């Protein structure tokens, strides 16, 4: 052992480098020795009786073996999770002579906030911690700050700031009614009706028999009442492509006064336009992927964050994770982008935006001019509140609403269906049904 190690061991009494004496230890030594000496000099027994407990506790703490490095570790949480409750454990590894553990644990339902300090016996049993997060996005769930104490808490180890443990809570998926998607003859594997004849269960027409028709298609009930044979013709079934275009340039809450400020401590404003758009996109993606369709994601503010069309449960997981990434990178950009290569030919384009600037309207109209069926979903909160501190708050809010109605009317004139998001997708499904009827206008 080197000379420096011997000096350190003599100074710390053989304890680990993290252990230290508290101010209470110094006060116990000074008061104990001082009162005992003063009582002996003045021949006062009561002073000795007052000082003896302090001196005995200090000597007991000094004589107790406290060594080693205690530690607290948190069981790893899954990187992604669904909204709701989760359970994890805090593993405690106490050192020799440790009696108490002070640990800070979160309160369920308050992610990212420091909870109260719990004073527990320093045992090796794991501490069960329940976590609950309803808000989607990135967040810190647990940070186990801790401090270990020896006999009478005169010797402590710490405090130690714990490592932050967080998860990515995926956007929730709400059950939506199935809407009729636009016709796209991309293969007989989908569930949507096309206008061309084919094999399905939905009747298209009854016509006269022609060379090349199969005999099993003959409708004998009609043929027996006519001089010629007639066959039953059905609609073909095809799959469809859906592109969810998310406007992440704005995150607008109900209070107009807060539009110029960010939302601290979260991915988006709860109940705001971005929160509504992300929830709607996740629900629409789940509904269409369940039908076997191909779904893609386009970020109007940052095109590099888009997701290519895909199918299946893995595509849904990829889309929900990417929605969190898009919301995390959300911010103002001067011009939204929706290039032609991002939209397959004949796909349904669902634009989710508050539509408070002309550029996003131009992008939406341009997608309709390329031949796609475009659906504009208005995610601006319906119950906007004016700025109470400004005398022009009410007038400014009326101008905002009037300009938005003008933009929505302009999109309707170009044959774009405009619906507000009601949380259940009923308006979206109704607009798609009207759009799929031949000869019926799309605009509501």
Question: Which of 63-77, 167-181, 216-230, 340-354 is most confident?
Answer: 340-354
Kindly tell me if the per-residue pLDDT of 296 is higher than 70.
Answer: yes
Kindly tell me if the per-residue pLDDT of 205 is higher than 90.
Answer: no
Question: Which of 188-192, 232-236, 265-269, 302-306 is most confident?
Answer: 302-306
| pLDDT for 42 | 83
Please choose, from the candidates 404, 408, 424, the residue with its C-alpha nearest in 3D space to the C-alpha of residue 416.
408
| pLDDT for 277 | 94
| pLDDT for 204 | 67
Band (413; pLDDT cuts 50, 70, 90): very high
Band (135; pLDDT cuts 50, 70, 90): confident
Kindly tell me if the per-residue pLDDT of 192 is higher than 80.
Answer: no
- CA–CA gap between residue 178 and residue 240 (Å, rounded): 13
Domains of the chain plus CATH, in order, are 3-63 (no CATH), 71-169 (2.60.40.10), 192-238 (no CATH), 241-435 (3.40.50)
Average pLDDT over residues 219-223: 85
Work out the angle at residue 428's Cα, subtended by the Cα atoms of residues 423 and 431, and round it to the nearest 5 degrees.
Answer: 150
pTM (whole model) above 0.85 = no
Convert 395-422 to b/e letters by CB count within 10 Å (16 or more is b).
eeeeebeeebeebbebbbeeebbbbebe
- Helix (H/G/I), strand (E/B), else coil: 202: strand
What percentage of the chain has pLDDT greater than the value 90? 26
Kindly tell me if the per-residue pLDDT of 314 is higher than 90.
Answer: yes
Kindly tell me if the per-residue pLDDT of 349 is higher than 70.
Answer: yes
Higher pLDDT, 31 or 163: 163
Kindly tell me if the per-residue pLDDT of 379 is higher than 60.
Answer: yes
| Distance from the Cα of residue 253 to its chain's centroid | 17
| pLDDT for 183 | 42
Average pLDDT, the chain: 80
| pLDDT for 185 | 40
Work out the angle at residue 287's Cα, subtended by the Cα atoms of residues 283 and 293, and round it to the nearest 5 degrees.
Answer: 130
Kindly tell me if the per-residue pLDDT of 14 is higher than 70.
Answer: no
Kindly tell me if the per-residue pLDDT of 201 is higher than 60.
Answer: no
| pLDDT for 115 | 79
Average pLDDT over residues 334-341: 90
């Amino acid at each position: 052992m080197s000379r420096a190690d011997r000096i350190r061991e003599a100074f710390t009494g053989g304890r680990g480098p993290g252990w230290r004496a508290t101010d209470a230890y110094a006060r116990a030594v000074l008061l104990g020795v001082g009162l005992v000496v003063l009582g002996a000099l003045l021949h006062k027994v009561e002073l000795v009786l007052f000082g003896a407990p302090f001196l005995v506790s200090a000597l007991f703490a000094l004589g107790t073996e406290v060594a080693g490095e205690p530690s607290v570790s948190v069981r790893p949480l899954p990187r992604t999770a669904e909204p709701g409750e989760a359970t994890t454990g805090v593993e405690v590894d106490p050192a020799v002579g440790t009696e108490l553990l002070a640990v800070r644990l979160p309160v369920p339902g308050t992610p990212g906030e420091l909870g109260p300090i719990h004073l527990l016996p320093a045992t090796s049993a794991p501490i069960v911690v329940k976590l609950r997060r309803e808000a989607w996005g990135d967040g810190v769930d647990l940070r186990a700050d801790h401090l270990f104490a020896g006999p009478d808490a005169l010797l402590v180890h710490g405090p130690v700031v714990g490592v932050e443990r967080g998860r990515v809570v995926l956007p929730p998926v709400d059950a939506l009614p199935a809407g009729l998607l636009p016709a796209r003859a991309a293969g007989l594997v989908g569930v949507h009706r096309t206008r061309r004849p084919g094999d399905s269960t939905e009747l298209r027409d009854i016509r006269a028999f022609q060379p090349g028709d199969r005999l099993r298609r003959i409708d004998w009930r009609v043929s027996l009442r006519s001089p010629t044979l007639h066959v039953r013709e059905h609609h073909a079934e095809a799959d469809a492509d859906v592109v969810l275009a998310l406007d992440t340039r704005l995150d607008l809450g109900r209070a107009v006064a807060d539009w110029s400020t960010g939302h601290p401590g979260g991915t988006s404003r709860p109940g705001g336009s971005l929160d509504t758009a992300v929830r709607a996109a996740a629900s629409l993606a789940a509904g269409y992927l369940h039908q076997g369709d191909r779904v893609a994601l386009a970020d109007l503010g940052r095109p590099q964050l888009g997701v290519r069309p895909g199918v299946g449960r893995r595509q849904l997981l990829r889309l929900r994770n990417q929605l969190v990434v898009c919301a995390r990178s959300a911010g103002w950009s001067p011009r939204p982008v929706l290039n032609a290569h991002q939209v397959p030919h004949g796909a349904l384009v669902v634009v989710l935006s508050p539509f408070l600037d002309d550029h996003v309207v131009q992008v939406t109209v341009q997608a309709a001019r390329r031949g796609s069926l475009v659906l504009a979903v208005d995610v601006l909160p319906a119950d906007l509140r004016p700025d109470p501190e400004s005398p022009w708050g009410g007038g400014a809010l009326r101008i905002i609403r009037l300009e938005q109605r003008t933009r929505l009317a302009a999109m309707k004139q170009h044959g774009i269906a405009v619906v507000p998001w009601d949380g259940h997708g009923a308006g979206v499904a109704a607009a798609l049904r009207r759009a799929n009827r031949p000869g019926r206008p799309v605009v509501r």
